[in-house]
């Protein structure tokens, strides 16, 4: 029996609220709670307020989390929900990644053309993600990348207004917003997704034993193992907000297969590697990172610090 409603922190964007509602519903179902036992507390994150510049120029992934981090550490909320791909690799002391919900579709969706190959010559493609930009320019160096930020509706409106010929969105976000049928999903084997893409991460204070116990009931172990492997790779690479990293993790025969590619920001250089290891093995992702960095040309390695030092 709860002595008061649990306070769930979330950003105010439509997708963030949809993810928070999913987390709330799963927690209520797992523990037989009433709807009023979990209260959503929404904040406008810096990343939502500042839309005219790439994240890498104004603070990186912390712009999605810092307000909720402060509320969590200050006791204003009991737990917080994030898109796993937006959570910094190095988290503040006192905050624990307590649960991951079942992963959604990891694919990117191309809006404006049926495929990368079908983009018209010299197409203007809107994206502010280094991974998407570099992966596009590697496949289609004739294209031009334009900065494109905002929520799903904003980016689709920019596209409709002719600000670009095409853009990318995450299939998971479209599905959670009920926007299925928008654009053309890209095969993840050919167009590698972002680390953490499609997964919802739930954080709480590390010393909040009650909250950690409650959240353990909604934790999806396969998603946790895959996302933590991808985060382990990022930590060992020591990337920053300008680093272009793409990964695909699959589970087969009781092993994780982690396939990763690193790009130079202009897409001209690309290296790829993969590793197989048991779920929960921290050495596997780190060894893959070391192998990739050992083979990386300066145009790629200049954007990775290695040794787990991530600056953004």
Active-site amino acid positions: 86
Closest of 47, 109, 53, 35 to residue 82, by C-alpha:
47
96, β-bridge pairs = 204
Q: How far is CA 247 from the centre of its chain?
A: 11
189 is written with which tokens?
């084997």
Judge contact between 164 and 112, C-beta under 8 A. yes
Q: How far is CA 17 from the centre of its chain?
A: 16
Separation CA 148–CA 139 (nearest Å):
19
Query: What is the chain's Cα-based Rg?
Result: 19
Closest of 231, 150, 176, 148 to residue 16, by C-alpha:
176
81 is written with which tokens?
């929900």
Separation CA 206–CA 110 (nearest Å):
39
Closest of 73, 65, 68 to residue 93, by C-alpha:
73
Which class for 35: exposed (0-12), middle (13-18), buried (19 or more C-beta within 10 A)?
exposed
Separation CA 161–CA 159 (nearest Å):
5
Separation CA 73–CA 61 (nearest Å):
18
């Amino acid at each position: 029996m709860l002595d008061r409603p649990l306070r769930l922190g979330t950003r105010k964007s439509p997708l963030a609220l949809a993810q928070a509602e999913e987390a709330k519903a799963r927690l209520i179902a797992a523990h037989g709670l009433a709807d009023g036992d979990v209260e959503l507390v929404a904040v406008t994150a810096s990343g939502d307020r500042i839309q005219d510049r790439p994240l890498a120029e104004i603070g990186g992934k912390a712009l999605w989390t810092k307000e909720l981090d402060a509320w969590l550490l200050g006791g204003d909320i009991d737990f917080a929900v994030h898109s796993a791909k937006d959570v910094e690799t190095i988290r503040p002391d006192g905050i624990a990644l307590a649960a991951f919900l079942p992963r959604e579709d990891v694919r990117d969706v191309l809006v404006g053309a049926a495929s990368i190959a079908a983009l018209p010559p010299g197409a203007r493609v809107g994206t502010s993600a280094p991974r998407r930009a570099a992966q596009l320019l590697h496949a289609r160096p004739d294209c031009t990348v334009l900065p494109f930020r905002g929520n799903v509706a904003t980016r689709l409106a920019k596209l409709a207004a002719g600000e670009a010929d095409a853009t990318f969105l995450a299939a998971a976000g479209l599905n959670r917003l009920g926007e299925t049928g928008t654009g053309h999903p890209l095969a993840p084997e050919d167009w590698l997704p972002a680390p953490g893409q499609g997964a919802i991460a739930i954080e709480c204070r590390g010393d909040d034993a009650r909250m950690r116990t409650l959240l353990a009931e909604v934790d999806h172990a396969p998603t946790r193992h895959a996302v933590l492997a991808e985060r382990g790779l990022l930590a060992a690479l020591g990337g920053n907000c300008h680093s272009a990293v793409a990964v695909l993790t699959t589970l087969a025969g009781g092993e994780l297969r982690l396939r990763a590619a690193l790009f130079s920001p202009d897409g001209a250089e690309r290296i790829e590697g993969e590793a197989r290891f048991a779920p929960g093995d921290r050495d596997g992702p780190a060894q893959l990172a070391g192998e990739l960095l050992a083979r990386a040309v300066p145009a790629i390695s200049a954007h990775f610090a290695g040794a787990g030092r991530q600056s953004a």
